[in-house]
Structure 1
């Protein structure tokens, strides 16, 4: 473990979250000005297994921020153009009135292709990237896309991955390796975990839902309600239970089945918060990170979420403490995991866990926003008092 003296309060709060086996386990990593200042873990990866330094956690929509970072690398290098039509790279995509949909539209959830329910016949089909990509290419977009964003809960990653594959002629997992893992010197970015690494994966629990009512049962009664039809269409029956099983680790679904360490996520967002640099490794030019950080308002309303998350270039505005702030961005995942960059402080925070949310509502919780607020306070205190004690390392 690594704990910088200036961030001991953050570490102390983290450790209180995993005192009992019933609380599962997790990991927290913080980078300041591109250098690690916290790398800690605690709790249980499974009922019979402690969380370790290399434990991986499936992190749901945290995945979208990683997929977006790969896309932004390709944009910076000129392989993709942000405002080019998707059909430039993927000709079949132009079908059914989609010829003018751009790469930017995909990254800001304005492609109108959020519908996954009924898109393909079976769950096996849903787990096959090529089948879903072909169905999306043939689909007609939701006309609401012209008025607002519509969160692509499942399909975002498929769209990003297919555009990247068409533009490069390479498998997305290979692109992930060359555009992210190798530049950062960290291999723990997985969309589909190889069998030789699956012993490292934390076991997720409990089922996703509210008040112990499963996700499918929870949303089924709202099917006739017009205002909720778009939200229901963005997930498929069986998704919630599937996601806590083993089958997602065979698939490549960069919208939700990304499996990471907190360390890998914090290093990535550390570069985004530090003019493109993580230590001596450059991920982006400073101009790119500045453009991402500006994040213009994308939509005042999202017709799937019923909120205004303000998407830009694949990320969304982040909650730090209790506030959605324009000074931080990243991507949260259902259940509590996520990563945040705060460029003004040169700070990144990543948290992964196998214990999904609160006992009453497993869809999300306050752990990452709370830890982010504490880390920001520590970083600002350190900046105001540069003579504070140096970092120390603690083995464990």
Structure 2
């Protein structure tokens, strides 16, 4: 390790020393600033490492309990909320959304099913009308606009990544069924009972534990223009209405809002625990959260396609299951094509592999330019599977 690489703290089972090595290499070779990684096997933590800095000025060390906004890695826990309700017979994934949210039937959406929301196939990847950041923080306004809008494509036929709208859509169904917003439901049913250090939004009293996000490096203006020119209207709506950045995710307004697609805050340990519910076939920490049948349902593929929002960026077909992405032939979540997980903008990720009994959480504060498959995450996953 070079003298510029910060020391790594925590514990790592001798069997998984390759993960520690990859984590150290992320700092030395891949531009890591501050980060943490946690791995469970059979529900037992075998890797729990952290290191680096919680701020770009390198004045605050990344500690064992440092929190960070994990962007879309939040979507996994939100899907978990919906699947808990379905597992209890309170939510039918094959029922029309309008059965639970009557206003949603507007603009030809009476046939949109709950499974279409979970699998990004509802055709509502973004709003058609301009939606400001202040409006984005308003739950009632955002969900009412989504209920009133017409789909961009025929629901159920293709996936188009619902980058920001996913949390409002799935979250409003959770609220209509349970009476609780996803943040409160997740705390009552999962994170509270299991002692998992993860919240949707961030209580003001915890702000001192939060790492500062560093935005991805800006591409040259000409390159940005070329990328933007390739975007379809639905991709522009999904990714830029409103346009979100690192600074927004550190504001008091963001932290106080309910944004279940993107403003989860937690440790790598917490991410590994939440995705560990899936890896443990519904059981984690000695508590059953989902039935084994429900865990299988979560990874029920809904069909491969070139995603209507991310297709140009990925350049290959992907498959979204009922709330998470399948690892597939490219191995985004390891060599098991039926492993599944979710990445967050800039690099974070949660992974579940029920066959191997493995879960992983990775969080960081220096954001990379990719929406998924950051090289730092890929190095950690490769190291993990090399040790199994």
TM-score by length of 1: 0.86
Say whether residues 1:101 and 2:112 are aligned partners: yes
**Distance in 1, Cα, partners of 2:298 & 2:156:** 23
1:290, distance to aligned residue in structure 2 (A): 2.6
SS at match of 1:159: helix
SS at match of 2:213: coil
Say whether residues 1:337 and 2:341 are aligned partners: no
1:21, distance to aligned residue in structure 2 (A): 12
Say whether residues 1:161 and 2:171 are aligned partners: yes
**Distance in 2, Cα, partners of 1:189 & 1:291:** 24
Question: Deviation string for 1:282-321 (max 9, x for gaps)?
Answer: 221112223334x324232211111432111100013647
RMSD: 2.5
Say whether residues 1:137 and 2:142 are aligned partners: no
* Structure-to-structure mapping, 1:37-48, within 5 angstroms: 37-46=46-55, 47-48=58-59
Q: After the TM superposition, which of the residue ranges 314-323 and 229-238 deviates more from structure 2?
A: 314-323
**Distance in 2, Cα, partners of 1:244 & 1:268:** 22
SS at match of 1:153: coil
In structure 2, relative to structure 1, the CA distance for the partners of 1:257 and 1:17 (3 Å cut) is same
Say whether residues 1:254 and 2:260 are aligned partners: yes
Q: Aligned residues, how many?
A: 368
Question: Deviation string for 1:135-184 (max 9, x for gaps)?
Answer: 00111112243531111011000111111101112233211112221343
In structure 2, relative to structure 1, the CA distance for the partners of 1:176 and 1:213 (3 Å cut) is farther
Which residue number corresponds to residue 240 of structure 1? 245
Q: Is the 8 A contact 1:320 1:370 kept in 2?
A: no
Say whether residues 1:314 and 2:338 are aligned partners: no
Which residue number corresponds to residue 384 of structure 1? none
The one of the two structures with greater contact order (alpha-carbon pairs below 8 A, sep at least 6) is 1
1:43, distance to aligned residue in structure 2 (A): 0.4
Which residue number corresponds to residue 228 of structure 1? 232
SS at match of 1:240: coil
**Distance in 2, Cα, partners of 1:378 & 1:142:** 44
In structure 2, relative to structure 1, the CA distance for the partners of 1:45 and 1:255 (3 Å cut) is same
Say whether residues 1:63 and 2:108 are aligned partners: no
Please point out which of 23, 26, 35 is paired with 1:26: 35
1:6, distance to aligned residue in structure 2 (A): 0.9
Q: After the TM superposition, which of the residue ranges 347-356 and 246-255 deviates more from structure 2?
A: 246-255
TM-score by length of 2: 0.88
